[in-house]
Chain A
Amino acid sequence: MLARVAESLYWMGRYIERAEFYKRYCIVEYFSALESPMTEHQDFTLRSIMYMSGTEFNSEETLVERDVFQKVLFDASNPHSVYSMIHDVRENARGIRNNISTELWESINKWFIFIKSRGQEAFTSAQYFTFFDTMRFHVAMIKSDMVHTLLHNDVWHFLNLGMYIERSQQVFKIMRSKISDYEILSNNGENKAMLTYQFHTLLKCLQAFDVHQVQNRGFMMTSASIFELVISNKDFPRSINYTLKKCHQHLLRISERPEGYSEVAAKFESSIAVFRNFKEFDNESLVIQHIEDTNQMVTNIHDDIVKLFFQ
């Protein structure tokens, strides 16, 4: 496989996952905020959406819902918009079209056609749910085509490597965002319901609420129980532990191995071992430090992958 092809597959995986996370963050934040205790904090919600997507904005100005969605979802000039993510997925797929199945290509292309056409029409609040639901359908189609129409060879491994690296980074980002929201609201003297709400949305953004309740049946929801699930659960597909395990598995199954491969694989394995030693989920400041350390570890893994395979 060409380095260029591997790199495009890797970034396709990353952008598919990133676009899905942005979309999910928008829908959870927006619809959850329609009910108490967040009804009086719409601006806070919109800022959180802008922050999460990485879209720059003037912190002094009052945000307008319509403009926020335009910028975060459809703005082609915003490199962090969902449109730009999907555009990049498609461009990467287009550059290596002969390496992926017709079905996967067409699903990606239809996704792009959808976001492009949707962005050209008026986008009102009555259309939000249908839009996000259709987006969900497109992502589900793409992921299904990835699983069922590709050989599970190096093409598949590079795609998944990108997808799981991105997933872990997005989980970090959402955790940081929610911890930051939690701290801001705590400093503002907000009530407990408001603070609990932030943790609820963290779980919902990861579609982990139901899983958490099943996992902790009979116990109160605490920050520790949430952190433990999201960080270290070995069976939950959006936990950091699970995503790192999958990254490592895909790395080990890549058949085309350039010089330096064994060293990178060994380094990854020892980093995961260090990560798994952490057990202090009831100590918030240690959890925050652990998140930062692990995030740095994932960034290093990404750098190693780039250097090893793509340069």
Chain B
Amino acid sequence: MIDVLKDYEVPEGMLDEVMSDAESGGNAYQKFFEHLSQMNIQEYKSLSDLAKLSFLNQGVTYALYDKNESVEQIFPFDLIPRIISGEEWERIERGMIQRNIALNLFLEDVYNDAKILSDKVVPEYLIKSSVHYCQAMENFTPPKGIYCHIAGSDLIRHSDGEFYVLEDNLRSPSGVSYVLTNRIAMRKVLPDAFKNASVEYVSNYTDKLLQAMWSVSGRELGDIFCVLLTPGSFNSAYFEHTYLAQKMGIELVEGRDLIVEDGHVYLKAIGGRIRVDVIYRRIDDAFLDPNVFNPDSMLGVRGLMDVYSKGNVTIINAPGTGISDDKAVCAYVPDMIKYYLNEDAIISNVPTYICNKPEDLQYVKDNIEELVVKPVDMSGGYGVCICDQMTKTEQKELLKKVEANPRNFIAQPKMLLSLHSTFIEESDQFEPRHVDLRTFTILGGESPYVLKGGLTRTALIKNSLIVNSSQGGGSKDTWVVKN
């Protein structure tokens, strides 16, 4: 019979969420483990296979390209849920709403009066030199002043037990479909585990997103036509695009399906043109409109930005929100919260050294072996250098790169992401693995909304701090449990 915590070893100085709950006399995992204790490891593996089959049958896959052949893979999924108490979640929720309201105010300010820059709270050079700064957004405010309708903030829990924000994703945050399909898979394979567990539901996300889209359309309900703009079926997040479009009952379109005529965007339907009011784009700014951005783009719609600037269509998220994704800008979010809301950040940032600041660069040079160095504009875990895992020569090479282009790098202390019990197929055992949490916040609609749970990503390699799916990470269902 399964005993998850038998022979379970947590490295010294690390926080394991499951063990810590057990040691502190908590009972968050007790019922779930009691349920597991009624099965043997073979039965558990059968359930795990059933979950995999559920993903495969739903087509919850991503494409891997190998020797010109596209191979569809499912994301590894672990059946042990990450459980967060309602009380703790309430703080995260408040923190995410506070953060994203401040970020939204920041975007409105930067593209209009730029007071935060003239008041020198955030350095102007940092914003104006960002590759994501969008001149076309200057002196323009989108409907209802909402720029970041959907935000994905990555949180980690440090060994001190506190959650910290690692980074924000305000362009096209992805991963929410995995939250929704993980829950479906869990309900299918472990229905009894949900009984009496009071797990908050996640399936209202698409309703909230659709309501947010309607709220910024400027038209009456019933007349609003929304679309989801995808780069196409070869995009690695295509499953998510189709899933969200289907659940919201909106049209999934490619750039070639839309046309600009008479100052509006239209869908090229068989029976004639249909006016489009809201575009939930899942393509980068650079590809949105070849007239304004990349002239070679085949994915966008020629003339779209002109229609947008006239207020005849709403783009979700607004172009230019990527300046907040810049990891150097992210470091200033607590200052933005203070500046716009006169509040202290409820959820702190991971301390960040901005290499373009001479004093921070000196600190990075002096303490390189204790830091994690990251490029400011890359995602998916790419380019991340965990310096204590590098040789001295590699560290020197890295510093050369940083000194040559300090604007392009930030450094953070090595945060010890919390651990969580995860079933490891190779050893047939439950072992601790590092996890993080991507939260999803929606602005617009009746009130700000944070999806209760988010996506827990797991590093499947022992001691690895990289949880990104593109780097071999997996995921877990995240349960917010009512108090």
Contact = CB atoms under 8 A, between A and B. Distances in A.
Given A91-B233, A96-B252, A98-B251, A106 B58 contact: yes
Contacts of B257: 2, 4
Interface string B223-244: 0000010000100001000110
Chain A contact surface mostly: helix
A110 B249 CA distance: 23
B394 to A, nearest CB: 42
A257 B228 CA distance: 24
A97 B250 CA distance: 11
B59 interface: yes
A257 to B, nearest CB: 6
A54 interface: no
A1 interface: yes
Contact of A98 (B58, B245, B254, B269): B245
B68 interface: no
Interface in B257-290: 257, 267-272
Contacts of B245: 97-98
B56 interface: yes
A113 interface: yes
Interface residues of B, number: 25
Contacts of B56: 109, 113
B57 interface: yes
A256 B57 contact: no
A255 B271 contact: yes
Nearest to B228: A98
B270 A258 contact: yes
B129 interface: no
B246 interface: yes
Interface residues of A, number: 23
B253 interface: yes
Interface string A2-19: 111010000000000000
A94 B243 CA distance: 10
Contacts of A94: 59, 233, 238, 242
B233 A2 contact: no
A256 to B, nearest CB: 3
Contact of B270 (A1, A91, A105, A110): A1
Contact of A110 (B57, B250, B267, B269): B57
Contacts of A309: 270
Contacts of A153: none
A98 B252 contact: yes
Contacts of A257: 270-271
Contacts of B250: 98
Interface string B368-394: 000000000000000000000000000
B58 A109 contact: yes
20 contacts: A1-B271, A2-B253, A2-B257, A2-B270, A3-B269, A4-B254, A94-B233, A94-B242, A96-B252, A97-B59, A97-B242, A98-B245, A99-B252, A105-B59, A106-B57, A106-B58, A106-B59, A109-B56, A110-B57, A258-B270
Interface of B: 56-59, 228, 233, 238, 242-243, 245-246, 249-254, 256-257, 267-272
Given A3-B270, A109-B57, 7 more contacts: A2-B257, A2-B269, A94-B242, A97-B243, A255-B271, A256-B271, A309-B270
